[in-house]
Structure 1
Amino acid sequence: MGASLVLATRSAGKLRELGPLLAQYGWHVMTLDELAITESAEEEALEQFDTFEANALAKARYFAQRTGRVVLADDSGLVVDALDGQPGVRSKRWSGSLLEGSALDSVNNAHLQAALDEAARRGRMERTARYACAAACVWSAGACVRLGTAEGTLLSAPRGDGGFGYDPYFLSADLGVTFAEAGRDAKAAVSHRARAVEALCAALAGEFDPAEKLSANLRVAVDHGPRSG
């Protein structure tokens, strides 16, 4: 595409994964830090909806207003069958912890194992799950969002030291190893984020005027969309 966009995430893990993916499709990626977009209290309230798609669009619209540029944002999480779809859109703060980074991952994974143990005691023995990701792009003329998923099984003990989030426990059905054991390229080929970005870029093909190239200074005018509650 040869166009510039802002990758609207403050997650180092997502930047490592989404940046190269978008570059493969010809995007010139800018980060919030590069644009000196300081973190605000409003950001924590953006992911208040019940679907990955609505949360991704809310984030993309918010940062499009703040930056005045084309923005891509995502919302992703773990959907566990024995837990009736939990943690889903609440995956990041499911444990209730306010920690960040690897410390938060440890607390969330302990909470996950406890929840699976409790489900097993109630007769829900299955450990099938999937990662889901919605990728949303907002630009001056509109918005687009697509969903990608990756199937797997949750292990009772972690394997691998790569990835982030629930990756050490997520045994990929495609790879036969956990996402934490897989190399970056292997994970990128089958991950929920890769599939969401692929679907999004396919949907956006031909959407933009090649002469305009979505210049870095393109102004966008979008509202935040409906709020719940």
Structure 2
Amino acid sequence: MSTAERPPAGASDVPARGELVLATRSAGKLRELGPLVAQHGWRAVTLDMVGVPEVPEEALLEVHDSFEANALAKARWFAAKTGRPVVADDSGLVVAALNGRPGVFSKRWSGSALEGAALDAFNNQFLLERLQEAAAHGRTERTAQYVCAAACVWPEGELVVHGTTSGSLLVAPRGSGGFGYDPYFLSDDLGATFAEVDGAAKARVSHRGRAFGALLTALDARMRACVDPRFFTTGS
């Protein structure tokens, strides 16, 4: 089995009640979402595992001005491609001193065409420079929030929920884990950056952990109430 075809971490840790396709190409998100989905008794499967090749059109899905709209756009796109229940999210960093930026543009705010760790490093440097500029104009606060909208779309319905977590931005990175802006985000809940703690600790308080916890709980309730649950079963 190739690396691309392997289930996300934690995907088979518990008996699955059904499959949910994770609509992301991000290795960092897959590492976080696999265990979150498995904890609720679902089997997480990747786009590679269900045979959905990456195409340029995917880059045009996150063009909306809200986390919710972007999450739904991705979930709807891949649900139409696969005919399966799909979960997707859109998340970002909301910085007080920057009037809410980068927000929904967090990944591509810097304008860099880099990917992976190189993009993270570029984005973080760009963020620090913008904070320095803001401080020079009297905006010295370092408070920030991570925000996430998590969506599920299946052939006969859809759900979307939100999660947030608060913290402050450091002047130097701490920790080697996480991804994105995590090394600079000092969590109010943890007293550590998201890059300093393990995945389980981050998931308990993170924006994505809270959003997907609420989404999967809502899906559980919907499944129990559903007269025809066939779209929530393995191999639907």
The DSSP-based 3-state class of the residue aligned with 2:230 is: coil
Matches within 5 A, 1:88-99: 88-99=103-114
In 1, are the aligned partners of 2:21 and 2:87 still within 8 Å (CA)?
A: yes
Q: Name the structure 2 match of 1:126.
A: 141
Q: Name the structure 2 match of 1:33.
A: 48
Kindly indicate which of the two structures has a greater share of residues assigned to helix: 2
Q: Name the structure 2 match of 1:175.
A: 190
Normalising to structure 1: TM-score of the pair?
A: 0.92
**Partner Cα separation in structure 2 for residue 51 and residue 179 of structure 1:** 24
Deviation at 1:36, TM superposition (A): 2.1
Deviation at 1:3, TM superposition (A): 1.5
- The C-alpha deviation readout for 1:149-208, integer Å capped at 9, x for no partner, is 110000000000000000000000000000000111111111111100111122223312
CA RMSD of aligned residues (A): 1.3
Normalising to structure 2: TM-score of the pair?
A: 0.89
Of 97, 103, 121 in structure 2, the residue corresponding to residue 106 of structure 1 is: 121
**Partner Cα separation in structure 2 for residue 184 and residue 43 of structure 1:** 27
**Partner Cα separation in structure 2 for residue 92 and residue 39 of structure 1:** 18
**Matched letter for residue 118 of structure 2:** A
The DSSP-based 3-state class of the residue aligned with 1:205 is: helix
Q: Percent identity?
A: 62
**Partner Cα separation in structure 1 for residue 69 and residue 229 of structure 2:** 31
Deviation at 1:216, TM superposition (A): 3.7
Q: Does 1:146 find its partner at 2:161? A: yes
Of 157, 164, 169 in structure 1, the residue corresponding to residue 172 of structure 2 is: 157
Deviation at 1:213, TM superposition (A): 6.5
The DSSP-based 3-state class of the residue aligned with 1:158 is: coil
Deviation at 1:93, TM superposition (A): 0.6
Task: Work out which structure has the larger RCO, using CA pairs closer than 8 Å and 6 or more positions apart in sequence.
Answer: 1
**Matched letter for residue 114 of structure 2:** L
**Partner Cα separation in structure 2 for residue 93 and residue 214 of structure 1:** 34
Q: Does 1:50 find its partner at 2:65? A: yes
Deviation at 1:68, TM superposition (A): 1.1
Deviation at 1:215, TM superposition (A): 2.7
In 1, are the aligned partners of 2:85 and 2:231 still within 8 Å (CA)?
A: no
In 2, are the aligned partners of 1:4 and 1:215 still within 8 Å (CA)?
A: yes
Q: Name the structure 2 match of 1:224.
A: none
Unaligned runs of 5+ in 2: 1-15
In 2, are the aligned partners of 1:153 and 1:173 still within 8 Å (CA)?
A: yes
Specify whether residues 85 and 178 from structure 1 end up closer, same or farther in structure 2 by C-alpha distance, changes over 3 A only. same
**Matched letter for residue 181 of structure 2:** Y
In 2, are the aligned partners of 1:68 and 1:217 still within 8 Å (CA)?
A: no
Matches within 5 A, 1:196-207: 196-207=211-222
Q: Does 1:2 find its partner at 2:20? A: no
**Partner Cα separation in structure 1 for residue 194 and residue 205 of structure 2:** 10
